[in-house]
């Protein structure tokens, strides 16, 4: 498994992810997506939206605002419950989550070895004096304050006056934008249960201990679905909410595998009773084997009718559904598959990373799914001194760019250009050479063919330039390289 340091360094070097405000020393736990990172992120969001919103007859989309009425957060329980217990070191002033403090290595000045300083692995005792951690794990000297509850929402002010009446929050989840629009969508789209509303957008949490690159940040993006079901119905002999919960868990696991995550690196974690959020009847996390170990990639919760009932109570509006068959008004139950875009991106990168040996040399390759790769096709001239080759290469790139992300590069020899594209996951490279355009000095006619190289097998095939757009389209739509190659060989 690739280390986090290797990924962080690759991401910076190759323009995926930069530290936010780096020239000013960086902003804690905020990251900027560079030219390749934004392509990868947009493609993850695009396939998620296509697969879960556009292609399903039971789904619609929404894009709610980040700033909402402050009462939303009172009703949702975030003002009162969205807290983590924190402790502070009285000496070095570092702040920790009280419930995670034993999960980090700790500094210890050991009395049994004349006060020598040791770094002791998380949760373990000193092997010399058997002491367990009681002081600050970072400085090893300061007493810790008793735990205090710390609300994770970012407060801000709406309008020009900074007073209590104008306080609002940056949304800590996109979900509430969906709940408060439930009736708008129901009425305008004439939906029948079960149906879902999907949304992708930014969320903000003032995490006490952010870290591990883009795994836990204070500004991140979520891809969330609220799937409304009739709690009085049964499907396959089971209550509809329980049936749909399992269906969504299976669909989400299959989705991550479809885009490249290995089954061995995915597992489910069922929340124990005391772990459940205040609104949840059951929550299952999809965990991924990140470079930091098994951790949450997404959560799939049964939020029951909690949110709709709360918003009905606090807003005074009716948020019910009329069941024509039973002639009754009811409050739907909600199944919520909620994934982090940034965590998905980190998982796709980690799973795709390979170091291979090719003819005695190390090759770093990102085996990203072709639909996710930041660059779909790199179009490369074999001789940059020949104007006709360069012109043809630019023309091909321009044509391909109408259907996918295509780049031109002539800044190195071809072998090095291939390696650079492998390292950022480009599934196909196209080269234009002398045969493509011909050589009038030597009396050689143009064959108008180009070479396509496959990233994973490194095989090459030569096809007519006029067929390139079709072949690239087929490959990006999922046709196997071996089938394309066999078709070309068969003429
Ligand atoms: N609406 C439900 C909800 O927000 P959550 O488990 O708190 O549930 C859902 O968040 C997903 O959002 C997580 O599984 C994770 O992928 C992502 N996420 C949450 N907090 C994050 C953070 N601080 N940084 C990056 N991603 C985060």
**pLDDT tens digit string along 65-96?**
999 999 999 999 999 999 999 999 999 999 99
Q: Which stretches of the chain drop beneath a pLDDT of 70?
A: none
Non-local CB neighbours of 201 within 8 Å, separated by 6+ positions? 63, 64, 66, 174, 177, 221, 222
> What is this structure's pTM?
0.94
Q: In the block, which residue shows the tokens 């989550």? A: 97
CB 384 within 8 A of CB 433: no
Predicted pLDDT of residue 163:
82
pLDDT (0 to 100) of residue 222 = 98
What is the pLDDT, as a whole number, of residue 365? Answer: 98
Query: How would DSSP label each residue in 34-87?
Result: -HHHHHHHHHHHHHHHIIIIIS-TTEEEE---SB--HHHHHHTTHHHH-EEEEE
H or E element that contains 146 = none
Tell me which residue has its CA closest to atom 18 in ligand 1. Answer: 340
Residue 259 tokens read as 């885009």
To which residue do tokens 């002639």 refer? 327
Rounded distance from Cα 376 to ligand 1 centre (Å):
29
206 Cα to the center of ligand 1, angstroms: 12
Burial 149-160 (b: 16+ CB within 10 A, else e): ebbbbeeeeeee
What is the enclosing helix (H) or strand (E) of 477?
A: none
| Token pair for 401 | 């760019």
Distance CA 439, CA 295 (A): 58
Centre of ligand 1 to C-alpha 239, Å, is 27
Nearest protein CA to atom 20 of ligand 1, as residue: 216
Tokens 């069941």 sit on residue: 323
Most ligand 1 atoms within 8 A of CB, residue of 173, 227, 290, 307 to mutate: 173
- 172 alpha carbon to ligand 1 midpoint, in Å? 9
Query: Which residue's CA is the closest to the ligand 1 atom numbered 2?
Result: 338
């Amino acid at each position: 498994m690739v280390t986090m340091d290797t990924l962080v360094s690759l991401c910076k070097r190759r323009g995926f992810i930069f530290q936010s405000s780096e020239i000013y020393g960086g902003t804690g736990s905020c990251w900027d997506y560079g030219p390749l990172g934004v392509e990868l992120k947009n493609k993850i969001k695009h396939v998620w939206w296509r697969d879960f919103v556009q292609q399903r007859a039971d789904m619609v989309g929404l894009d709610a605002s980040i700033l909402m009425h402050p009462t939303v957060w009172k009703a949702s329980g975030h003002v009162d419950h969205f807290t983590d217990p924190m402790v502070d070191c009285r000496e070095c002033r570092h702040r920790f989550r009280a419930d995670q403090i034993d999960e980090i290595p700790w500094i210890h000045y050991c009395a049994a070895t004349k006060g020598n300083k040791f770094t002791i692995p998380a949760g373990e005792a000193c092997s010399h004096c058997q002491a367990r951690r009681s002081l600050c794990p970072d400085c090893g000297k300061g007493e810790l304050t008793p735990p205090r509850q710390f609300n994770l929402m970012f407060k801000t002010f709406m309008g020009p006056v900074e007073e209590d009446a104008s306080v609002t929050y940056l949304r800590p989840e996109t979900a509430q934008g969906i709940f408060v629009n439930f009736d708008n969508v129901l009425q305008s789209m004439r939906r029948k249960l079960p149906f879902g509303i999907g949304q992708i957008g930014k969320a903000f949490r003032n995490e006490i201990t952010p870290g591990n690159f883009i795994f836990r940040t204070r500004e991140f993006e979520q891809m969330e679905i609220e799937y409304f079901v009739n709690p009085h119905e049964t499907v396959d002999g089971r209550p509809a909410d329980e049936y749909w919960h399992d269906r969504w868990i299976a669909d989400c696991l299959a989705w991550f595998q479809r885009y490249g995550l290995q089954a061995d690196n995915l597992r489910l974690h069922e929340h124990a009773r005391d772990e459940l959020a205040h609104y949840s009847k059951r929550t299952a996390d999809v965990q991924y084997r990140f470079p930091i170990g098994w951790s949450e990639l997404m959560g799939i919760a049964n939020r029951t009718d909690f949110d709709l009932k709360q918003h009905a109570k606090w807003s005074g509006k009716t948020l019910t559904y009329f069941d024509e068959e039973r002639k009754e008004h009811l409050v739907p139950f909600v199944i919520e598959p909620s994934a982090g875009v940034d965590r998905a991106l980190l998982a796709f990168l980690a799973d795709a990373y390979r170091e291979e040996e090719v003819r005695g040399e190390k090759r770093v390759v990102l085996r990203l799914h072709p639909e996710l790769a930041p660059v779909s096709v790199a179009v490369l001239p074999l001789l940059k001194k020949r104007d006709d080759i360069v012109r043809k290469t630019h023309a091909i790139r321009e044509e391909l760019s109408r259907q996918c992300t295509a780049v031109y590069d002539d800044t190195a020899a071809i072998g090095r250009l291939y390696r650079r594209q492998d390292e950022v996951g480009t599934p196909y490279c196209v080269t234009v050479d002398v045969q493509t355009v011909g050589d009038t000095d030597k009396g050689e006619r143009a064959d108008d063919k180009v070479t396509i190289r496959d990233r994973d097998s490194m095989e090459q095939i030569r096809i007519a330039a006029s067929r390139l757009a079709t072949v690239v389209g087929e490959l990006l739509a999922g046709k196997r390289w071996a089938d394309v190659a066999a078709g070309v060989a068969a003429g």
